[in-house]
Amino acid sequence: MTAAAEGSPPLRATRSRGGPLLQSEQAQGMALISPTFLYALVLLAVPILVVIAHSFWTQNYLTIDRTFTLENYRVTLTEPIYRDLLFRSLYISLVVSFVTVILAYPIAYFISFHGGSRKNLWLFLITIPFWTSYLLRVMSWKVILGYGGVLNSGLMGLGVIDEPSTAFLYNTTAVIITLTHAWAAFAILPIFVSLEKVDRTLLEAATDLGDGPIRRFLRITLPLSMPGVISALMIVMIPTVGDYVTPRLVGGKDGVMIANAIQAQFGKASNWPLGAALSVTTMVIVTAMAGITVFILRWAARRAR
Amino acid sequence: MTAVRRLLTNWLPVYAALYIGFLYLPILLLPVFSFNTSAIPKFPLTGLTLKWYESLPNTPALLDAAWNSLVVGVAASIVSTMLGICAARAMTRYRFAGQRAVSGLIMAPLVLPEIIVAVSLLLVLLQLGLSLSLFTVVLGHVLICVPYSVTVLISGFEGFDRSLEEASADLGETAFGTFRRVTLPMVAPAIISSLLVSFTISLDEFIMAFFLTGTDPTLPVYIWGQLRFAAKLPGVLALGTLLLVGSFILLTFAEIMRRRATRRTQNAGGAFV
């Protein structure tokens, strides 16, 4: 081995080219990831810090007054309009994340336990709708739920209702249905991954020891797939709180969410600090809500065992 | 007990079929109404027509938007895949302190409300005095696409047999030569898959483009503008159908590539996501 190494000078050249600094695994790894890291640092971390800074400043017509103030947060938390929007957004994201995960779990279970050799095909089938134009998917729900829409004409055709109902579109429920549809794939995949990791021999052992399918599911499969359920909840809950398109297209007056207010502050109203405070508040509260949800679920899982 | 078991195994496939129906219903309605003669999307259908499709090439604003989206998509997918290669390689090949924090930041756009990422970026770009253009849209799209690129590339890089590279180095190949002649051919399918996935995301991305675009709209921004006019809806549906077919073809190709990558590096299928 040594002889071979000595007999090949290019090898030495290669090994020493990087210098002692790049020899270590640590330095090589960091050097390799640094372009991506810097990109995220400059275009994500720094901008978020800038937004946080702005939230403590004041808009003075075209300029920004950089005196520290909590006025924007006072407005965000006490003005009824923003408080209502925040509550509604949090409520919608909470409901959407739970409904999506509850609807997604059986599908993930089905694919993992009964998918057989077609697992990949099933997963592909589930991800396809998610890849199609988001705007048009939301638009399509508007067509389905609308006054002259598919649901109304379908129900009338079946004789369930006599005249078109306006109850389906332009409200919170329409927003919830649309978002549940939009985020389905994001919930299914993490649950599926954690179900795949469930050791099947544990289930056999439980059967041998006399557990029925329901007990077996509650005592083994469900607890072991909890990490997937929790990450699915987070993946759906946090981004949906800031959804802009769905409330605009199907929400109507009663379905407006906080993102619409944020957009207004950065657009027409042109009050960046207030927009920044709304963004920061939304982020903080949704993170807290996510944290509490995780805590409660973990506590419940421990209690159940 | 057997009755319960039978019920448990039987309701699942039914539920799965219903769920797939729920997932595909809104998507399949787009093509249905795009071939309908009536401008109002409702049942019963009035007749079959191609007129909405025929009007598409005669809309200059649409063609401009499509071209803008193509330019942005190509640029964003190339940059995001290059950044993704660095990150995925570093995450699979090396173990280093701070790795979790660094990859956490890189993957963060996946779990942040998009509007907050978009307005923060907007704020900084405007403060820097940059005028909004397709370039700023690319900057935003790369941020959104990188986590997906990294995910796709990691599944291609994982299980990559390091001894092959070592063998190449032992045989006198330089670091770059090893990368070009050993590593690259092994991971090429994953790279192509990452390019296709990020292109598809960029093509469809709305929020970033909505905030960061200047006077040149991308396709989703153009569609957003059209959605206000009820009369324009069938044209938008026709356009949507074409985009749907395009995305489907790209993604099928991406999936085939990704599976080939997994097979090449691991000699076995079965890794997802």
Question: Is B45 a member of any domain?
Answer: no
Domain count, chain A: 1
Which pair of structure tokens corresponds to residue B205?
Answer: 């991305």
Question: Is B27 a member of any domain?
Answer: no
Contact in structure between B13 and A114 (CB atoms under 8 Å): yes
Reported as a single tens digit per residue, the pLDDT across A191-239 is 999 999 888 888 888 888 888 888 888 888 888 899 999 999 999 999 9
CA distances from B41 to A168, A177, B16, B168, B171 (A): 16, 20, 28, 61, 66
Question: Is B17 a member of any domain?
Answer: no
Q: Which residue of A has its CA nearest to B240?
A: A136
The pTM of the full predicted model, rounded to 2 decimals, is 0.84
Question: Is B40 a member of any domain?
Answer: no
CA gap B228, B77 in Å, rounded:
30
CATH of the domain at B244: 1.10.3720.10
Q: Alpha-carbon torsion A79, A81, A84, A90, what sign?
A: negative
- Give contacts of A193 with chain B, Cβ < 8 Å: 272-273
Which pair of structure tokens corresponds to residue A8?
Answer: 């090949």
Question: Is B1 a member of any domain?
Answer: no
Only one residue has tokens 């503008």, namely B225
Please indicate if any CB of chain B lies within 8 Å of the CB of A292. Answer: no
Question: Is A164 a member of any domain?
Answer: yes
**pLDDT digit string (tens) for chain A, length 305 residues:** 344 444 444 444 444 444 555 567 788 888 889 999 999 999 999 999 999 999 999 887 777 888 888 889 998 899 999 999 999 999 999 999 999 999 999 999 999 988 888 888 888 888 888 877 888 889 889 888 887 777 887 788 787 888 777 778 888 889 999 999 999 988 999 999 999 988 888 888 888 888 888 888 888 888 889 999 999 999 999 999 989 999 998 988 888 899 999 999 988 778 889 999 999 999 999 999 999 999 998 888 787 76
CB contact under 8 Å between B99 and A47, yes or no, is: no
Which residues of chain B have a pLDDT value below 70? 1-9, 159, 264-273
CB contact under 8 Å between A153 and B84, yes or no, is: no
Domain count, chain B: 1
Please tell me whether residue A263 adopts helix, strand or coil conformation. helix
Distance in angstroms between the alpha carbons of the first and the last residue of chain A: 56
Q: Which residue of B has its CA nearest to A51?
A: B120
- Calculate the dihedral angle through the C-alpha atoms of A237, A241, A243, A247, rounding to the nearest 10 degrees: 110
User: Which domain range does residue B248 map to?
Assistant: 59-265
Question: Is A10 a member of any domain?
Answer: no
ipTM: 0.83
Question: Is A39 a member of any domain?
Answer: no
CA gap A217, A9 in Å, rounded:
62
User: Which domain range does residue A168 map to?
Assistant: 87-241+292-304
Only one residue has tokens 């007054």, namely A65
Which pair of structure tokens corresponds to residue A52?
Answer: 């946080």
CA distances from B175 to A67, A130, B165, B238 (A): 54, 40, 9, 50
Of A135, A144, A176, A172, residue with least CA distance to A252: A172
CATH of the domain at A160: 1.10.3720.10
Please tell me whether residue A65 adopts helix, strand or coil conformation. strand
Question: Is B30 a member of any domain?
Answer: no
Which pair of structure tokens corresponds to residue A35?
Answer: 């372009």
Question: Is B211 a member of any domain?
Answer: yes
Question: Is A12 a member of any domain?
Answer: no
